Structure 1
Amino acid sequence: MPVTVSVTDKVAEIVFDHPPVNAFDTAQWAALPDLITQAGSREDVRCVLLRAEGRGFCGGVDIKEMAAHPERIVQLNRDNHRTFLAIRHCPVPVVSAIHGFAIGGGVNIAGASDVLLAAEGAYFSLPEIDRGAMGGAAFMMRMLPLHKVRAAFFTGGKVTVEEAHRLGAVEQVVPTADLARVARDYCAVIASKSRTALVLAKQALNGLEATDPNLGYRFEQGFTLEMYMHPDSQAARDAFVDGKAAAKF
């Protein structure tokens, strides 16, 4: 599993390091939920930090694997959902530090998190419409206004972290070289609090939200499966694997 977990000063740091773009295959998505749950359940942990090495935070799913094995979509959907559920229901706060890009499933990881910090020039993107898939809007709507999400989804476009910061989704935007340090310092503030208070606060804040993004994501996944069964979906994945920007329809 191209993910490392370490605990220092009551902060569990989970680092993605799977070149070139931290796009995970089905086996890797299957392993990720347990790593997050185990880290957050430790009594000596009061905050979980998700960050990454390499070109970007997370490139989502491995489209090349899906192009070669479309029959794995059900398992992939299930473990994607388990990952986002693990973040949302992690006993303690989860902070994600975004650099480069958060694409597809990476957007969902960010959207399920409690706090977002980001490096200058990074962006969020849901390119599903060009990849023969659906899904992800439920968690993007947790970060951004409805019409901003629809515009990004229909075009497969990008939302910069600077724009997300302006809209209130990202807490801080800092130079890339400073991101890991700033993220650790931010998590240290959280980790100085009572674990009991943090656990109760996380439960209360989750319960106060008007909608549950995990339920919305499961609703979206039905449309993902329907799309995967259409020949246009395979054409979109094949175009991506062949190095084309998007299939022509």
Structure 2
Amino acid sequence: MDYQAIIVEKIGRIAVITFNRPEAMNAVNSRLWLETGTALKEFNEDPDLWVAILTGAGDRAFSAGADLKEIGAGGFSTTDEMKEWGFAGIVRHHISKPVIAAVNGFALGGGTEIALACDLIVASEKASFGLPEVKRGLIAGGGGLLRLPRQIPLKVAMRVILTGNPISAEEAKQWGLVNEVVPHDQVLNAAIQLAEEIICNAPLAVKASKEIVYRGLDTSMTFPPEGWSINNEYTSQVFASNDAKEGPRAFAEKRKPNWSGQ
């Protein structure tokens, strides 16, 4: 695809996807939605890429959420695949590999929903998060109302949701929503460093771990033991892999493992 609303850069095994509409505070229009979903699909299918980073162009915004000008002019133009991916090409898009949000400014409404859909969040000290939809007679329909109460304490989430008021990056970190808060000019580098820590590990094991966590979150571990069935399914696959043999062998030989992803 000839990307126009995003920039895709490959740094070793890392895919950096940048929302490239700084003049619109990286608001999500139909083009950005399609391109982001496509880029994430290509990332997910590329065996040479192991971690993705989402960030925004410019110095102010990660994403201001939905492009209200496009909505006012008639709404989004979406394909069936875009609808399956959900808002911004990510909120309902099943991605089996780790995705990091490098939040380089305010992330409001749909911007917060994009960050919530990522596995890890590195935030600029200037970043803020919020779901202000209720202030406009709307609701956060892109997963914000589902994910936020699962990622921070319920009462804290309800304050954010019902008041529509934003919280700072430091407060978001306090409640466990953000992994790291870094100086503004270091947010992307910090996200890349975190990605590099992940890609030191076996890709099959990382993918399987992610699947077990998310598939197991809403399942029982006792009776019926649904969570254990999921755990055992992926554990057997990983332990039968070549990487599972390479890891102990490299440890015994006192060298770095050479992961094949198989």
Does the 8 Å CA contact 1:107/1:140 hold for their aligned counterparts? no
Q: Counterparts of 2:88 and 2:63 in 1: how far apart (Å)?
A: 16
Corresponding position of 2:211: 203
**What secondary structure is seen at the aligned counterpart in 1 of 2:61?**
coil
| Aligned 1:140-219 pairs, distance under 5 A | 140-210=148-218
Q: Counterparts of 2:114 and 2:101 in 1: how far apart (Å)?
A: 8
1:8 and 2:15 matched: no
Corresponding position of 1:223: none
Number of paired residues?
Answer: 209
CA offsets, 1:103-161, max 9 Å, x none? 11111111111111111031101111123321221122233222222211222100111
What amino acid is the match of 2:198?
Answer: I
What amino acid is the match of 1:85?
Answer: R
1:23 and 2:27 matched: yes
Aligned pair partner of 2:130 in 105, 125, 146: 125
Structure scoring higher RCO (CA < 8 A, sep ≥ 6) equals: 1
1:58 and 2:63 matched: yes
Corresponding position of 2:105: 100
Q: Counterparts of 2:128 and 2:103 in 1: how far apart (Å)?
A: 8
Corresponding position of 1:85: 92
Q: Counterparts of 1:18 and 1:81 in 2: how far apart (Å)?
A: 13
Q: Counterparts of 2:22 and 2:56 in 1: how far apart (Å)?
A: 10
Aligned pair partner of 1:36 in 26, 37, 40: 40
Report the alpha carbon displacement of residue 166 of structure 1 after superposing the two structures with TM: 0.8
Q: CA RMSD in A?
A: 2.2
Deviates most, 181-190 or 21-30: 21-30
What amino acid is the match of 1:93?
Answer: P
Does the 8 Å CA contact 1:111/1:142 hold for their aligned counterparts? no
Report the alpha carbon displacement of residue 37 of structure 1 after superposing the two structures with TM: 1.7
| Aligned 1:68-79 pairs, distance under 5 A | 68-70=73-75, 79=86
Q: Counterparts of 2:154 and 2:65 in 1: how far apart (Å)?
A: 22
**What secondary structure is seen at the aligned counterpart in 2 of 1:30?**
helix
Q: TM-score, normalised by structure 2?
A: 0.73
Q: TM-score, normalised by structure 1?
A: 0.77
Does the 8 Å CA contact 2:22/2:61 hold for their aligned counterparts? no
Larger radius of gyration: 2
**Amino-acid identity (%):** 29
Does the 8 Å CA contact 2:101/2:122 hold for their aligned counterparts? yes
Does the 8 Å CA contact 2:29/2:76 hold for their aligned counterparts? no
Does the 8 Å CA contact 1:115/1:171 hold for their aligned counterparts? yes
Any runs of at least 4 consecutive aligned residues in structure 1 with deviations exceeding 3 A, and if so which?
70-79
Q: Counterparts of 2:161 and 2:110 in 1: how far apart (Å)?
A: 13
Report the alpha carbon displacement of residue 27 of structure 1 after superposing the two structures with TM: 3.2
Give the number of the structure whose residues are more often helix, by fraction. Answer: 1
Corresponding position of 1:217: none
What amino acid is the match of 2:66?
Answer: V
In structure 1, stretches of 5+ residues that fail to align are 212-249
